[in-house]
């Protein structure tokens, strides 16, 4: 009897000791493999898990136009996007979409619609309900646009590196945290690293000056020998 108990304990112990190690190894290699998307543009490089992305690693002469929030729905800007066939990634706050989903669908018809929170609360405040801001917005944007976002941009760019934010984001199906390296505001351009580069991510806003900002974005891209491309093609959904 004593021998049997010893065997049982030994088996239980060995399982307890090896199981977590095995599953941890499996999870690591699984997620690493899972992050290597195939069939993506040649310049695409593996992005580490949910590390904020300021610029896409690529040698192709491309830049990415992203537009945030969604409070203003400027008609002239939409017309320019359609006329010039500009690929636009819209990072929308759920509350600003209201009954104007079609506006954003048209603006992002050559791009995609992604998650920019529900109410634009800062993720660095502990009082912010991340579940609502991230997970509710995933469901709401899916209801409004038919696709679940896989990219997220935190309001104000705050707490993009926070483990708490990453954990909730991952749980809700976010695969990329997308920041920016170029800001265009009121026709003025500011660069994080001094200039526009291949893979640069431009930040604009759905404001009253969007048309002007889009023209500025196109002009500085052309001057740098770069063309706007669809961010979703370079940072595709992985799962």
Binding site for Zn ion (CB under 5 A): 68-69, 155
Smallest distance from Zn ion to CB 68, Å: 4
Residue 157: DSSP 8-state: G
Smallest distance from Zn ion to CB 96, Å: 10
Of 37 and 179, which CB lies nearer to Zn ion in the complex structure?
179
Of 44 and 206, which CB lies nearer to Zn ion in the complex structure?
206
Of 60 and 185, which CB lies nearer to Zn ion in the complex structure?
185
Smallest distance from Zn ion to CB 116, Å: 6
Smallest distance from Zn ion to CB 91, Å: 7
Smallest distance from Zn ion to CB 18, Å: 47
* Two structure tokens written together for 92: 């929308």
In 3D, which of 74, 54, 61 has the Cα closest to residue 213? 74
In 3D, which of 175, 179, 95 has the Cα closest to residue 132? 95
Of 69 and 175, which CB lies nearer to Zn ion in the complex structure?
69
Q: Give the residue carrying structure tokens 């934010």.
A: 165
| CA dist 4 → 7, 9, 17, 93, 140 (Å) | 5, 9, 20, 61, 57
Of 155 and 199, which CB lies nearer to Zn ion in the complex structure?
155
Smallest distance from Zn ion to CB 218, Å: 22
C-alpha dihedral sign at 86, 92, 94, 98 = negative
Strands 62-69, 227-228: parallel, antiparallel or unpaired by DSSP? parallel
Of 68 and 230, which CB lies nearer to Zn ion in the complex structure?
68
Residue nearest Zn ion, CB atom distance:
68
d(CA 116, CA 221): 25
d(CA 96, CA 162): 25
């Amino acid at each position: 009897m004593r021998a049997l108990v010893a065997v049982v304990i030994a088996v239980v112990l060995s399982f307890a000791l090896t199981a977590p190690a095995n599953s941890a190894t499996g999870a690591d290699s699984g997620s690493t493999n899972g992050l290597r998307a195939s069939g993506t543009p040649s310049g695409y490089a593996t992005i580490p898990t949910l590390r904020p992305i300021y610029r896409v690693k690529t040698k192709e002469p491309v830049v990415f136009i992203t537009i945030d929030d969604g409070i203003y729905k400027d008609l002239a800007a939409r017309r320019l996007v359609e006329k010039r066939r500009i690929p636009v990634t819209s990072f929308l706050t759920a509350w600003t979409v209201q009954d104007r989903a079609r506006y954003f669908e048209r603006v992002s018809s050559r791009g995609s619609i992604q998650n920019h929170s529900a109410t634009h609360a800062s993720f660095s405040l502990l009082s912010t309900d991340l579940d609502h801001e991230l997970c509710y917005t995933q469901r709401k944007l899916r209801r409004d646009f038919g696709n679940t976002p896989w990219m997220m941009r935190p309001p104000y760019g705050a707490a993009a590196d926070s483990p708490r934010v990453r954990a909730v984001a991952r749980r809700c199906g976010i695969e990329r945290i997308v920041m920016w390296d170029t800001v265009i505001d009121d026709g003025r351009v500011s660069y994080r690293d001094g200039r526009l580069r291949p893979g640069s991510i431009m930040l604009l806003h759905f404001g009253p000056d969007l048309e002007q900002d889009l023209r500025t974005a196109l002009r500085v891209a052309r001057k740098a020998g770069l063309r706007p491309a669809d961010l979703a093609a370079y940072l595709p959904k992985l799962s």
